[in-house]
Amino acid sequence: MTCRSRKRSKRWCNVRKVRLNRFLAMVGVASRRKADLMVAEGRVRVNGKVARMGQRVDPDLDEVTVDGRPVPPKAGFLYFILHKPAGVLVSHQDPFGRPTVFDLGLPRELYYVGRLDMDAEGVLLLTDRYEVEKVYRAWVKGTSGEEALRTLRKGVPLEGGSTAPAHVRVVGLWRGGTVLELTIHEGRKRQVKRMCAYVGHPVMRLVRMRFAGLSLNGLGPGEWHPLDEEEVHRLKTSVGLKGPPKSI
């Protein structure tokens, strides 16, 4: 079944479609590189026809088979456990060419939960579920134009791969430049500062306003309070632990 049979607009269809090698990686069939090899060998079909290199598919509408077996669409999030060997870097890529965990054949759409040193080995959890939502206010140098905002929203190339799409907006001005609000779901080292530096706006002050559904809610610097029942519920909901708060 195609987008046309559902009378969808061409623009909507293009948004829904993803590259075939990415789709096969998303559902855990193979890495993108191995998926391309499968396509080149004629082992992959889309709606009964031999797939083409670079072909795009709609995961909800197109029928994809590998070696004659249907590939089910992704259901929920993917979770992998890896026994990381020593001598392998926990990163998507390495500028020095050292081997990474993704060279072991894992789908590159995954994110690692925590890290292990290169010379360490053992259990490593990987998932395609983004980390919890984080909202930052960044006081940056200079006036942020639309081009810089578009780059931040689309994703910035950093060591280890481009950042995931972010929600970015201008919320004010200060005497040295612009105040930005950035909502991200990853947890890379100094991510917001590195993103802003990439577009030419160094961060002079950075405040995390919300984390996993929780906000400062009037807390001053150095102040703290235990989470109340509603805040615990919001925290659990944010990280995927469902269920209403217990009554006391």
Is 103 a known active-site residue? no
Question: In angstroms, what is the C-alpha Rg of the chain?
Answer: 22
Q: Which residues pair with 83 in a beta bridge?
A: 123
CATH 3.10.290.10: which residues of the chain?
4-70
Query: Residue holding tokens 């391309």?
Result: 36
Q: Tally Cβ neighbours within 10 Å of residue 94.
A: 14
User: How far, in Å, CA of 140 to CA of 176, rounded?
Assistant: 7
- In this prediction the pTM is 0.52
pLDDT, tens digit (0-9, with 9 covering 90-100), for 28-40:
788 778 889 999 9
Q: Which residue has the higher pLDDT, 221 or 87?
A: 87
134: its two tokens: 């984080």
pLDDT of 16 above 60: no
CATH 3.30.70.1560: which residues of the chain?
134-211
What's the gap between Cα 42 and its chain centre?
A: 31
Instruction: Kindly name the residue from 58, 67, 103, 117 that is annotated as catalytic.
Output: 117
User: How far, in Å, CA of 67 to CA of 179, rounded?
Assistant: 54
Start-to-end CA distance of the chain, whole Å, equals: 53
pLDDT, tens digit (0-9, with 9 covering 90-100), for 43-68:
999 999 999 998 988 877 889 999 98
Q: Which CATH number fits domain 134-211: 3.40.50.1820, 3.40.640.10, 3.30.70.1560, 3.40.50.620?
A: 3.30.70.1560
Fold for 4-70, please state it.
Answer: 3.10.290
93 falls in which pLDDT band (50, 70, 90)? confident
Among 77, 139, 71, which residue's Cα sits nearest to residue 111? Answer: 77
Note the CATH number of domain 79-127.
Answer: 3.30.70.580
